[in-house]
């Protein structure tokens, strides 16, 4: 099949590469010319395991190219995938301007096409967007109608950063929100995933499945964080509690890790968008707001533990370990490192930041000069305390004796349960974690 993918971010590039692996021919289009050229030269614009070799191999097939014009490749396409960003507006609404612009470009191509292509919305969009925005925009620019000149389908993506390629190659479900069963079946065949359950539904239901999935994941995390407060006050460890809870298959063990909260480009953004969307429809939801409020509180829990351990933060030197919103990425969007950094600075601490990949992105995010290093030992040397924000393996791999020897004052506050706590304690570290009993003073 001839495919066009609009948007060369995590979802777009990964989608394009998996389509090439499935034997299709793909043109990946991005409005950013430099980005499109870099990708054509084999360079991946972000850190994502496995993507660079997959890109290199796609480039050798002769079935993968990049460009900046959406209309021209759409003329001969069987399927066009919309993978552009839907960032949050300052008020929390999803910004659909990239979707609109891309839909227009696709429509201009559809106008000259004889193939009645599938127009597939993979971007995360508020329920109703495919029906109320994408279809009219493509129809207007193409002067053709849905179901005849093109077939619109909402086919949300569930991949995780850090495992994007694996997730896209082997999804746990394929949600196909089509207006007609035949078009939906064409998409299922195009993907050709074997043994993957298909949820065939309407476009609006497919869009809500995506929002509801992310909202539920975030709810699990905030639930664990609520229990963390109570557990610590009872002198028990929330990780033990959640292990006992998560063994119930109806609940599941995943996403019950308490800590400094969830970050990333999706969970916080989608929750805010869902909250505002529901309110605008006159159906305000109570959970998303509560889940976000709990999440905002969590970095403060780490600060509270640090203050308790050090008896105040003024003029203390603190290593902030991990800037990426999670390991195996250089992505700092909505990272909990930002509120932690700001709170530490506001309390008068001197902060040295460490991350193996995300230092530059974090410096850009903060704006002001940030004291930062990619050398973990340097970050720890002579500090009064360390606070862990990302569970990088480098932290677990550092011998306990090194933690003890390098830190001036052996205090570690672990916001992600990312190190061998017993080992550190045995080496003489005062180890604090969110949702755990305080160490003996």
CA quadruple 43, 47, 52, 58: dihedral sign: negative
Q: Does 86 bind ligand UGA (CB under 6 A)?
A: no
Tell me how crowded residue 202 is: count the other CB atoms within 10 A of its CB.
16
Burial annotation 370-383 (CB, 10 A radius, 16+ → b, else e): bebeeebeebbbeb
Give the β-pairing of 385-388 and 151-154: unpaired
Positions in 189-218 near ligand UGA (CB under 6 A): 214, 217
The token duo for 374 is 């990619």
Q: Which stretch binds ligand UGA (CB under 6 A): 79-87, 201-209, 253-261, 398-406?
A: 253-261
In the complex, what is the shortest distance from the CB of residue 181 to ligand UGA, in angstroms, rounded to a whole number?
26
In the complex, what is the shortest distance from the CB of residue 238 to ligand UGA, in angstroms, rounded to a whole number?
11
Q: Does 20 bind ligand UGA (CB under 6 A)?
A: no
In the complex, what is the shortest distance from the CB of residue 128 to ligand UGA, in angstroms, rounded to a whole number?
18
Among 262, 341, 392, 403, binds ligand UGA (CB under 6 A): 262
Q: Does 242 bind ligand UGA (CB under 6 A)?
A: no
Residue of 326, 318, 321, 332 whose CA lies nearest to 397: 321
Q: CB neighbours of 266 closer than 8 A, spacing ≥ 6?
A: 124, 214
Q: What CA–CA distance (Å, rounded) separates 377 from 375? A: 6
Q: What CA–CA distance (Å, rounded) separates 357 from 128? A: 38
Positions in 306-325 near ligand UGA (CB under 6 A): 325
Q: Which stretch binds ligand UGA (CB under 6 A): 60-68, 141-149, 151-159, 175-183?
A: 151-159
Residue 396 or 408: which CB sits closer to ligand UGA? 396
Q: Which stretch binds ligand UGA (CB under 6 A): 54-62, 87-95, 134-142, 259-267?
A: 259-267
Q: What CA–CA distance (Å, rounded) separates 180 from 152? A: 9
Q: Does 263 bind ligand UGA (CB under 6 A)?
A: yes
Residue 56 or 342: which CB sits closer to ligand UGA? 342
In the complex, what is the shortest distance from the CB of residue 266 to ligand UGA, in angstroms, rounded to a whole number?
3
Q: Does 267 bind ligand UGA (CB under 6 A)?
A: yes
In the complex, what is the shortest distance from the CB of residue 357 to ligand UGA, in angstroms, rounded to a whole number?
15
In this structure, are residues 134 and 102 in contact, taking their beta carbons and an 8 Å threshold?
no
Q: Compose the 400-439 pattern: x for residues touching ligand UGA by CB under 6 A, - for all others.
A: ----------------------------------------
Q: Is 393 exposed, middle or buried (0-12, 13-18, 19+ CB in 10 A)?
A: exposed
In the complex, what is the shortest distance from the CB of residue 164 to ligand UGA, in angstroms, rounded to a whole number?
8
Positions in 152-191 near ligand UGA (CB under 6 A): 157-161
Count residues binding ligand UGA (CB under 6 A). Answer: 21
Give the CA distances from residue 241 to residues 60, 164, 234, 246, 250, in Å, rounded to whole numbers and listed in that order: 51, 30, 12, 9, 16
Residue 214 or 219: which CB sits closer to ligand UGA? 214
Q: CB neighbours of 287 closer than 8 A, spacing ≥ 6?
A: 215, 219
Give the CA distances from residue 111 to residues 71, 78, 146, 218, 420, in Å, rounded to whole numbers and listed in that order: 9, 14, 12, 41, 60
The active-site residue, picked from 3, 83, 266, 353, is: 266
The reply to whether 266 belongs to the active site is yes
With tokens 């050229």, the residue in question is: 37
Positions in 111-150 near ligand UGA (CB under 6 A): 124
Q: Does 361 bind ligand UGA (CB under 6 A)?
A: no
Q: Does 64 bind ligand UGA (CB under 6 A)?
A: no
Which residues are part of the catalytic machinery?
266
| Contact set with ligand UGA (CB under 6 A) | 124, 157-161, 214, 217, 221, 255-257, 259, 261-264, 266-267, 325-326
């Amino acid at each position: 099949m001839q495919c066009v993918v609009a948007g060369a971010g995590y979802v777009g590039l990964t989608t394009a590469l998996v389509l090439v692996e499935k034997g299709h021919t793909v043109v990946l289009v991005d409005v950013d010319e430099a980005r499109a050229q870099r990708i054509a030269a084999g360079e991946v614009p972000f850190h994502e395991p496995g993507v660079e070799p997959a890109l290199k191999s796609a480039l050798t097939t002769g079935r993968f190219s990049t460009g900046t014009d959406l209309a021209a490749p759409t003329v001969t396409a069987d399927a066009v995938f919309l993978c552009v960003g839907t960032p949050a507006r300052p008020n929390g609404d999803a910004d659909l301007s990239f979707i609109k612009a891309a839909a227009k470009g696709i429509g201009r191509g559809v106008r000259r096409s004889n193939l009645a292509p599938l127009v597939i919305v993979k971007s995360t969009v508020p329920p109703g967007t495919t029906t109320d925005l994408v279809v009219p925009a493509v129809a207007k620019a193409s002067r053709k109608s849905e179901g005849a000149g093109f077939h619109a389908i909402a086919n949300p993506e569930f991949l995780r950063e850090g495992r994007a390629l694996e997730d896209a190659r082997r999804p746990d479900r394929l949600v196909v929100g089509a207006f007609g069963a035949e078009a939906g079946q064409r998409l299922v065949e195009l993907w050709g995933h074997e043994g993957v359950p298909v949820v065939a539904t309407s476009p609006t239901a497919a869009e809500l499945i995506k929002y509801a999935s992310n909202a539920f994941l975030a709810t699990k995390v905030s639930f664990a964080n609520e229990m963390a407060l109570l557990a610590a006050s009872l002198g028990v460890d929330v990780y033990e509690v959640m292990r006992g809870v998560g063994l119930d298959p109806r609940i599941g063990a995943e996403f019950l890790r308490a800590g400094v909260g969830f970050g990333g480009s999706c969970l916080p953004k989608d929750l805010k968008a869902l909250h505002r969307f529901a309110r605008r429809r006159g159906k305000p939801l109570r959970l998303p707001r509560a889940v976000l409020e709990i999440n905002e509180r969590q970095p403060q829990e780490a600060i509270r533990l640090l203050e308790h351990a050090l008896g105040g933060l003024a003029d203390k030197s603190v290593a902030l370990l991990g800037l990426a919103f999670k390991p195996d990425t250089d992505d700092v969007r909505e990272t909990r490192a930002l509120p932690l950094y700001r709170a530490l600075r506001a309390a008068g601490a001197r902060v040295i930041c460490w991350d193996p990949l995300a230092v530059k992105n974090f410096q850009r995010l903060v704006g002001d000069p940030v004291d930062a290093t990619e050398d973990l030992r340097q970050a720890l040397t002579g500090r009064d305390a360390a606070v862990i924000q990302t569970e990088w393996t480098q932290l677990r791999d550092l011998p306990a004796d090194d933690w003890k020897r390098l830190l001036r004052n052996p205090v570690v506050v672990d916001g992600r349960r990312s190190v061998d706590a017993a080992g550190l304690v045995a080496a003489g570290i005062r180890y604090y974690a969110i949702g755990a009993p305080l160490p003996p003073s």
